[in-house]
Amino acid sequence: MTARSQLRGDELVASRHLPAEPDRVWVAFTSPAGIAAFWGGSHAVVPPESVVVDLRPGGEFALDTRAPDGATRRLRFVYVRVTAPHELVFDEPLTGLRTTVSLHPAGGGTELTVHQRRLPAELRTTQAADGLASILDALAAHLQQPDAPTGRSTS
């Protein structure tokens, strides 16, 4: 199964069933190693050392994306709401873009929905919708790896 995305005006919604329980998906979305493993989707690489996570309301979440041509872009977000392991809400301060990540147990895994509101004009494109879908597909692939973080203590 692949991610589904829909662009409606200044909103973009993408969803995908993931082959892991919500706790594992949460770890992937909130740990530097997890974020680096999937965030670039099929269109960019995220250097693990570039990822910063201060997981609390008002805390920063930032990362670099490196395109195939070598161009690097810093993305920075501020957490608004952190409700483990069900919901993350974060804003992009420069544009006002708000992203809500919702996790719900479903069918032996997790139904993940990413809802972006107040999209800037340059992100109201099919390319942006496809890019978000590819990130969710990369997350699914990451979660199928045997060395993907589980969110459980190994001690």
Q: Dump pLDDT digits (tens) for 73-122.
A: 999 999 999 999 999 999 999 999 999 999 999 989 999 999 999 999 99
Q: Tell me, which fold does domain 4-143 have in CATH?
A: Alpha-D-Glucose-1,6-Bisphosphate; Chain A, domain 4 (3.30.530)
Sign of the C-alpha dihedral computed for residues 20, 59, 89 and 97 taken in this order: negative
Residue 152: pLDDT above 50?
no
Q: Which residue has the higher pLDDT, 146 or 90?
A: 90
For a pLDDT cut of 90, what percent of the chain falls above it? 88
Give the predicted TM-score (pTM) of the model.
0.91
Residue 104 to residues 2, 58, 62, 92, 138: CA-CA distances in angstroms?
17, 24, 25, 24, 19
Q: What is the mean pLDDT of the chain?
A: 92
Question: What mean pLDDT do residues 44-65 have?
Answer: 96
Question: What mean pLDDT do residues 34-42 have?
Answer: 91
Tell me the C-alpha distance between 63 and 49, whole Å.
9
Q: What is the pLDDT of residue 85?
A: 97
Contacts of 17 (CB under 8 A, 6+ apart): 1, 106, 107, 109, 110, 111, 112
Task: Output the CA torsion 19→21→22→24 (10° steps).
Answer: -80
Q: What is the pLDDT of residue 118?
A: 97
| Confidence grade of residue 153 (pLDDT, cut at 50, 70, 90) | very low
